[in-house]
């Protein structure tokens, strides 16, 4: 019998280094695992070839899925030793990117985002598109761990050669969006994927963060929630370029149509998210596929409208500036906390704030003073 090969997802790092946002934990094996007759079989671990910058670059352009996955793992890494290679890779790929439509999808819990994305993704593949799904799972605020289950929820789409699904942990980042989602989009676009679907965790600031990354923003909702319209934040509705009532099938069709009318009445009084575009509500069924083609046509009309009036490229330029500002903030935060004087003073200041001996504002100023003094030395 051949020795068994240990299986691991292609997007996990070679080893559980601290810098990576993704790590792999071994499962629990029974006492019978690894035995054949009276002999224990040896598990074979195949160490993958270490990739250089050009290996990543060539592999992504050739749409080599394994190298794509490793490239995304590289750009997600927190380790300084990976950062230089990741930055150079993104810089080299940038001229080959930008030729996709980026669609953000959010929704209330239970709206069926994953089912909708799989149905839409399969429809787009049937039309000849190459679809990349960036499914961002929420991370634990304590352990920073994620289940990363979207690939298992999109069983059919994940097997299609025209699709690429990347589950990414949010890493506890505000809004639930992976820290390097923008770089991940660059990699997918450079690999030839012309539709990028970004699924948010659907809570808090995630909608605002994803709105700053995509061309079209879709809010998915359902009928049957009595206080849904009142509970829906006005700000979130104003971010959407379309609202889609899912699960409009069977006896729920009439309810969905009623909800659609209510949303359209409210949207009439709200500021649209995109200049010159009138946000409307639509219905669909992710199970039957009814309404899926229609929402794609809406997106096509949106692209025609925004490219015609110049707003599409204007928004892309604004997003590039936001990306730059986000990178600056990330860098400043990192060098602040890595500053030796701040590291030395932080614990004591933190305890003083915790006990109420000083205010949070005073604590912050003390650490800033320590940083500035050390930076000047």
Domain limits, the chain: 98-308, 319-376
Q: Rounded mean pLDDT of the chain?
A: 81
Burial class (CB in 10 A: 0-12, 13-18, 19+), 41: middle
How far is it, in rounded angstroms, from Cα 137 to Cα 170?
A: 6
Asked if residue 238 lies in contact with residue 270, where contact means CB atoms within 8 angstroms, the answer is yes
* pLDDT for the residue numbered 83: 85
Buried b (16+ CB within 10 A) or exposed e, 172-201: bbebbbbbbbbbbbbbbbbbbbebbbbbbb
Tokens 């997600």 correspond to 76
* pLDDT for the residue numbered 238: 85
CATH of 319-376, one of 2.30.29, 1.10.287, 3.40.1110, 2.20.25: 1.10.287
Average pLDDT over residues 117-132: 96
Q: What band does 107 get if pLDDT is binned at 50, 70 and 90?
A: confident
* pLDDT for the residue numbered 175: 39
How far is it, in rounded angstroms, from Cα 90 to Cα 58?
A: 12
Tokens 């559980």 correspond to 16
Q: What band does 362 get if pLDDT is binned at 50, 70 and 90?
A: very high
Asked if residue 344 lies in contact with residue 358, where contact means CB atoms within 8 angstroms, the answer is no
* pLDDT for the residue numbered 152: 52
* pLDDT for the residue numbered 233: 62
Q: What band does 4 get if pLDDT is binned at 50, 70 and 90?
A: very low
Higher local confidence (pLDDT), 187 or 155 = 187
| HSE-up (13 A, CA, CB side) for residue 367 | 25
Contacts of 299 (CB under 8 A, 6+ apart): 101, 103, 216, 242
- Does the domain at 98-308 match CATH 3.40.50.300? Answer given as yes
CA of residue 277 relative to chain centroid, distance: 26
Burial class (CB in 10 A: 0-12, 13-18, 19+), 115: middle
Q: Which range is most confident: 45-49, 80-84, 173-177?
A: 80-84
Contacts of 5 (CB under 8 A, 6+ apart): 44, 46
Number of H helices, E strands in the chain: 15, 9
Higher local confidence (pLDDT), 109 or 247 = 247
Strands (E), 205-258: 216-221, 242-245
* pLDDT for the residue numbered 127: 97
Residue 60 has pLDDT above 60, yes or no: yes
Q: What band does 86 get if pLDDT is binned at 50, 70 and 90?
A: very high
Contacts of 49 (CB under 8 A, 6+ apart): none
DSSP 8-state class, residue 44: B
């Amino acid at each position: 019998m051949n020795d068994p090969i240990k299986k691991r997802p292609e997007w996990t790092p070679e080893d559980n280094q601290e810098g990576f946002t993704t790590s792999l934990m071994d499962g629990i094996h029974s006492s019978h695992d690894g035995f054949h007759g009276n002999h224990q079989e040896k598990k074979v671990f195949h160490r993958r070839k270490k990739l250089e910058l050009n290996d990543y670059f060539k592999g992504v352009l050739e749409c080599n899925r394994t190298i794509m996955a490793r490239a995304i793992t590289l750009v997600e890494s927190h380790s300084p030793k990976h950062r230089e290679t990741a930055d150079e890779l993104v810089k080299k790929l940038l001229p080959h990117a930008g030729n996709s439509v980026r669609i953000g999808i959010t929704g209330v819990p239970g709206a069926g985002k994953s089912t909708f994305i799989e149905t839409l993704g399969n429809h787009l593949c049937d039309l000849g598109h190459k679809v990349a799904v960036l499914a961002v799972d929420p991370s634990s605020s304590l352990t920073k761990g994620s289940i990363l289950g979207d690939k298992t929820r999109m069983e059919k789409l994940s097997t299609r050669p025209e699709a690429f699904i990347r589950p990414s942990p949010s890493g506890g980042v505000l809004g639930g969006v992976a820290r390097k989602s923008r770089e991940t989009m660059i990699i997918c676009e450079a690999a030839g994927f012309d539709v990028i679907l970004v699924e948010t965790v659907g809570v808090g600031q995630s909608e605002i963060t994803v709105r700053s990354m995509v061309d079209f923003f879709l809010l998915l909702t359902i009928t049957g929630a009595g206080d849904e319209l009142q509970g829906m934040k006005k700000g979130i509705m104003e971010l959407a370029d379309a609202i889609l009532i899912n699960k409009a099938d069977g006896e729920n069709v009439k309810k969905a149509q009623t909800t659609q009318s209510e949303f359209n009445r409210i949207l009439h009084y709200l500021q649209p998210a995109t200049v010159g575009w009138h946000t409307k509500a639509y219905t669909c069924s992710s199970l039957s596929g009814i309404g899926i083609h229609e929402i794609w046509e809406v997106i096509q009309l949106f692209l025609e409208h925004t490219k015609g009036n110049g707003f599409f490229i204007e928004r892309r330029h604004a997003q590039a500036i936001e990306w730059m500002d986000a990178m600056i903030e990330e860098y400043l935060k990192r060098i602040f906390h890595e500053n030796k004087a701040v590291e030395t003073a932080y614990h004591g200041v933190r305890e003083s704030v915790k006990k109420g001996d000083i205010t949070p504002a005073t604590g912050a100023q003390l650490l800033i003073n320590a940083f500035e003094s050390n930076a000047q030395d």
